[in-house]
Amino acid sequence: MAEIEDTHFETGDSGASATYPMQCSALRKNGFVMLKSRPCKIVEMSTSKTGKHGHAKVHLVGIDIFSGKKYEDICPSTHNMDVPHVKREDYQLTDISDDGYLCLMGDNGDLREDLKVPDGELGQQLKSEFDTGKELLCTVLKSCGEECVIAIKTNTALDK
């Protein structure tokens, strides 16, 4: 009998993919798709007629959900495109650290301090509204191992 080797795994995950395949013709505007290996939201989509060699082509224009960059791609409508699993969660903002990290509390009371203040206008608005004492909810988008705050809103649940 062969000796069974005792293997030790440092980490384990479900092995689930960050994306799933979907036929190009089934994609819709405002949906998500991977363009140039980046998770994008589809902002424009057009289909060309079948040509001499058969395939109708789909022209996709998407905006990267994290960086805001615009990406374009053309693929046959019968081919599969990768669609990212996108998860959206709201967190209550409890504090902003001196080094620019947000202290966020989830619905279950768990705290997380691993997200930076977003760059640009959103980050400035978040800081100024937090400094005036407003209770803020941060919407965090998570996809392909990346996370970032994409929106903030005043927490109205506390007023009731």
Whether residue 159 lies inside any domain: the answer is no
Whether residue 47 lies inside any domain: the answer is yes
Average pLDDT over residues 133-144: 88
Whether residue 8 lies inside any domain: the answer is no
Q: Do 79 and 57 have their domain in common?
A: yes
Per the model's pLDDT, the better-predicted residue between 118 and 4 turns out to be 118
CATH number of the CATH domain containing 64: 2.30.30.30
Average pLDDT over residues 49-56: 76
* Calpha distance 138→89 (Å, rounded): 8
Contact 141, 151 (CB under 8 A): no
Q: Do 149 and 95 have their domain in common?
A: yes
Which of 84, 100, 133 terminates a domain? The answer is: 84
pLDDT given at position 4? 61
Give the total number of structural domains in the chain: 2
DSSP string for residues in 95-138:
EE-TTSEEEEE-TTS-EEEEEEPPSHHHHHHHHHHHHTT--EEE
- What pTM did the predictor assign? 0.74
Q: Do 98 and 133 have their domain in common?
A: yes
Q: Do 113 and 62 have their domain in common?
A: no
Q: Do 148 and 96 have their domain in common?
A: yes
Q: Do 93 and 57 have their domain in common?
A: no
DSSP state of 79: S
Q: Do 50 and 72 have their domain in common?
A: yes
State yes or no: pLDDT of 45 exceeds 80.
yes
Q: Do 136 and 101 have their domain in common?
A: yes
CATH number of the CATH domain containing 126: 2.40.50.140
